[in-house]
Structure 1
Amino acid sequence: MLTFADTDFSQLNSTLEKLKPSKIFILVDENTHEYCLPTLLGNMETTVPYEILEIEPGEEMKTLNTAAQLWEVLAEFEADRNAVLINLGGGVITDLGGFIASTYKRGIRFINIPTTLLGMCDASIGGKTGIDHGFIKNIIGTFAEPELTLIFPDFLRTLPFEQLRSGFAEMLKHGLIADKQHWEHLITLPELKAEQLYPYIRRSCEIKLDVVKADFHEKNIRKTLNFGHTIGHAVESLFLETGKPILHGEAVALGMICETRLSLLQGLISEEDGEAIIRNICKFFPQISLENISHEQLLTLMKSDKKNSHGQTNFSLVTAPGTCSYNVSVKEDNICNALHYYQNLS
């Protein structure tokens, strides 16, 4: 269930009352511990004992090692199958926390309270959990639905601009794959501020929910949500491996530019639409240097993408603002052409 908590946390409290947990565990990172946990605890009305589980922030923490440590902590605190895990944080926390909950004792219940724009519009919705392994994004994970996803937009006021912009990339993607009007509203925003984005968060959430409801296990149309992610995840993984990680939304913006170029090369989109999409993404996201990254490295990582089958590299590609095709097989020459195009953008 997805709920917007504009003023209070009554839905959280009623959910906890209904679940009757034996114990509550709250997963945070150092940032959400400082900026968001006081708000949660000040609004959480329960007599159930709780424990705070804190990790360092960043994609680097989304690993098997972190998962093992958290499983051990849950076991040490004698968490049983009636325990509830509340994930208070951005995409890393909801991805990791959902994975921890869905695998500990074959599954305990969990609640997502996203604190970033990326978490609110994308990562916390849809029942995907996951961790990285060998610097490959989300290669290990489960499908598991939270008992509740609670959106509290005021948490966005705690975000630095770069994190806000990172989540905005996923909002742009939602418009491009499913709602032309949403895309057009977003690209006309005069600046990226939390208050400017509030009116459009709900629509992004609705788009993702509609796609997920139609195809929960990603057999067909849910693959469109991966637009920008085949190349984007490969770039993100390589930067993570070098110890200089970039934000997920920055990688997705890069991926959407490259994959729109791919759509042009494949003859799936008009030149006018393709160039307009690229121009508008570039308006919000500065170019990322790929100077020290080879096409061969990226192609190798793309072959590990979960959408691939039978040795084919498959993409989800926009065909016009608001529409998207999936399972599009693309030749390596065109992928290299798209990467070269991005590297030479002015």
Structure 2
Amino acid sequence: MQTIQANGYEVVFNQHGYEVLNALLPEKKYSKIFILADTITSEYCLPLFLQQLATETAIEIIEFETGEAFKNIETCVEIWNVLTELGADRKSLMINVGGGVVTDLGGFVASTFKRGIDFINVPTTLLSMVDASVGGKNGIDLGNLKNQIGIINVPQLVLIDTDYLDTLPKEQLRSGLAEMLKHGLIYDKAYWTQFADLSTLDLADLDTLIYDSVVIKNKIVQQDPTEKGIRKALNFGHTLGHAIESYFLENENKKTLLHGEAIAAGMILESYIAMEKNLLTDAEYSEIKRGIQNVFEDIIFEKRDLAPILELLIHDKKNEYGTIQFALLDGIGKTALNQTVDNELINMAFEDYKS
């Protein structure tokens, strides 16, 4: 697969990616390399990565606990302290090997340590390959509020090796499909239709779909790096999806949702809202709902869940002047930005989802 030119860096793939990485390291003359991984990627992915890494620069491995619950400032402080204790300086490099939590948090840690050191992302989950790989968003959660603290800063390189997908459980692989479905819905109807029958797809198809998904997101981000316009389209499904994800994360009586599971529900709910606002036809909404439900199981919502979910919308980082802003579909393959939606319509969307 060809290298993708992003804003200020390259996205490289599979074996060629390691060749590019191993050529970059001596060129940059780093003083020390720090590899960040969580406990799961340290066990399953790091051995594969280290086999491919060729460098004479000293390497230190930093590990932290797996899970969204550890994507917080406390983890950052621990890692900053370890970097300091191990003698990291401005010429050090951080390589983040893992899913979206690792690359989001690792990019934030690197971007703020000594006012910024270089970092490279090696996403190991489908979700992080098609989402966190492009755009330069780095950040952490504030309590249960998703990605409230962060910056936009690009890595030196992103290396996508689809061999890491062999280490994923099925539910994690499925989670990544949500962002791929989203890319088709907001930008490319032909791409969306390729997911009509997942049973016919093989691993070679998945490689191509991943590549095409990165291309779509990259095209959007290149037009609008700082999210003032078209990049807001990438938030489709995320306004309600993030609120759902945050609510289930903080609620002891609820099963914690994977990001893609929450976003899948968010896309159905927001598609219903688009239909009610005459942006989607009934037939388009039915096609979207059916397509997503073919991949993801429905989430069980009780009546008492809706009020706290709506309350969490107040903290959505896309809000402006106290108004909740939605990116809704305007037909399949297009979006309508900065859409306001009242609570009555959101409640109607949940009622339809539950039916």
TM-score band by shorter chain is over 0.9
SS of the residue corresponding to residue 303 of structure 1 reads helix
2:132 equivalent to 1:123: yes
**Correspondence for 1:256:** 267
Cα deviations across residues 226-283 of structure 1 (Å, max 9, x unaligned)? 1000000001001111244210000000000000001011111111111111111011
Which structure 2 residues correspond to residues 191-230 of structure 1 after superposition, within 5 A? 194-230=203-239
2:112 equivalent to 1:74: no
Q: Which amino acid aligns with 1:312?
A: T
Which structure 2 residues correspond to residues 90-109 of structure 1 after superposition, within 5 A? 90-109=99-118
Is the CA contact (8 Å cut-off) linking 2:17 and 2:160 kept in structure 1? no
**Correspondence for 1:12:** 21
Which structure 2 residues correspond to residues 234-245 of structure 1 after superposition, within 5 A? 234-243=243-252, 244-245=255-256
Structure 1 gaps, min length 5: none
Q: Which amino acid aligns with 1:327?
A: N
Measure the CA separation in 1 of the matches of 2:92 and 2:326: 39
SS of the residue corresponding to residue 137 of structure 2 reads coil
Which structure 2 residues correspond to residues 31-180 of structure 1 after superposition, within 5 A? 31-180=40-189
Q: Which runs of 4+ in 1 moved over 6 A?
A: none
2:240 equivalent to 1:231: yes
Cα deviations across residues 16-54 of structure 1 (Å, max 9, x unaligned)? 122211100001111111111111111111110011111
Cα deviations across residues 69-125 of structure 1 (Å, max 9, x unaligned)? 111111111111110000000010000001101111111100000000001000122
**Correspondence for 2:326:** 315
Cα deviations across residues 148-179 of structure 1 (Å, max 9, x unaligned)? 00010111111110000000000000000001
Q: Which amino acid aligns with 2:215?
A: E
* CA deviation after TM superposition for structure 1 residue 191, in Å: 6.1
Q: Which amino acid aligns with 2:329?
A: V
SS of the residue corresponding to residue 240 of structure 1 reads helix
Judged with a 3 Å threshold, the aligned counterparts in structure 2 of structure 1 residues 169 and 105 are, in CA distance, closer, same or farther, namely: same
SS of the residue corresponding to residue 129 of structure 1 reads strand
**Correspondence for 1:328:** 339
Measure the CA separation in 1 of the matches of 2:21 and 2:82: 24
**Correspondence for 2:7:** none
Which of 276, 283, 297 aligns to 1:286? It is: 297
Is the CA contact (8 Å cut-off) linking 2:17 and 2:159 kept in structure 1? no
- Per mean C-alpha deviation after superposition, the further-off stretch among 331-340 and 225-234 is 331-340
Measure the CA separation in 1 of the matches of 2:325 and 2:270: 11
SS of the residue corresponding to residue 30 of structure 2 reads coil
TM-score, normalisation: structure 2: 0.94
Which of 261, 275, 283 aligns to 1:272? It is: 283
- Per mean C-alpha deviation after superposition, the further-off stretch among 188-197 and 252-261 is 188-197
* CA deviation after TM superposition for structure 1 residue 6, in Å: 4.0
Measure the CA separation in 2 of the matches of 1:268 and 1:335: 15
Is the CA contact (8 Å cut-off) linking 2:90 and 2:114 kept in structure 1? yes
| Root mean square deviation of aligned Cα | 1.4
SS of the residue corresponding to residue 88 of structure 1 reads strand
* CA deviation after TM superposition for structure 1 residue 313, in Å: 1.0
Q: Which amino acid aligns with 2:248?
A: F
Measure the CA separation in 2 of the matches of 1:177 and 1:277: 12
2:40 equivalent to 1:2: no
Is the CA contact (8 Å cut-off) linking 1:165 and 1:192 kept in structure 2? no
TM-score, normalisation: structure 1: 0.96
Is the CA contact (8 Å cut-off) linking 1:156 and 1:194 kept in structure 2? no
- Per mean C-alpha deviation after superposition, the further-off stretch among 254-263 and 319-328 is 319-328
Q: Which amino acid aligns with 1:278?
A: K
SS of the residue corresponding to residue 151 of structure 2 reads coil
Measure the CA separation in 1 of the matches of 2:201 and 2:132: 20
Is the CA contact (8 Å cut-off) linking 1:164 and 1:194 kept in structure 2? no
Measure the CA separation in 1 of the matches of 2:17 and 2:274: 44
- Per mean C-alpha deviation after superposition, the further-off stretch among 240-249 and 207-216 is 240-249
